[in-house]
Structure 1
Amino acid sequence: ATLRKLGLDVIELPADESLPEGVFVEDTAVICDGIALMCRPGIPGRLKEVDIIRTILKREGLIIIDIEDPLATIDGGDVLFTGREFFVGLSKTTNMAGAKAVASAFP
């Protein structure tokens, strides 16, 4: 309610009990200036979440970029945008190839 009072558009998704990590929508995409880099989670069971969010972002008119490197993994929660530059933390779900995908998508 607070976000709507601030004049923001809010998209609500129905709960999906088969996706317990689905509440962490920030993990599925890195978004900046109308471009969405779709993440490839290091946990294969989370790929369905990415597909759901991809559909919504495409419907909202964002440009969708998919990671081409089959070895790249990235979790959007490991990415911080300062307004000027991106920081990507390497973790068990984000590797160097995933960090390079962010650099390529947002040069």
Structure 2
Amino acid sequence: MTDLSRTFGCPVELALEVLGGKWKTVLLARLKQGPLRYGELRRQVVGLSDKMLTQRLRELEEIGLVCRSAVAGHEHYALTERGESLRTVLQSLYDWGRAFAVEADVKLAP
């Protein structure tokens, strides 16, 4: 869980504490595309266990970046307004990763 009760040395340290860990940013990037059901997230994020997916989604809900709601009888996860405020940051990370992959000859999944 994210500990926001301590004093942080700078805003970047706080941002990395909130978004830290591989799975949080990956999940946020997937949800940036639109609401997804749990099973859809599980299929899209290769290598993430059910336990870790559940844990990370709860953490993102607790800090107000993701919300869970029922749509047409199915539970969906979506970005909150606070989560939407990360849209440009997530897009910048995506763009940088894509450019770096080309420069470093790293393969990316389609």
Same fold (TM over 0.5): no
The structure carrying a bigger strand percent of its residues is 1
Find the structure with the greater CA-based Rg.
Answer: 2
- Give the structure with the larger helix fraction: 2
TM-score, scaled relative to structure 2: 0.34
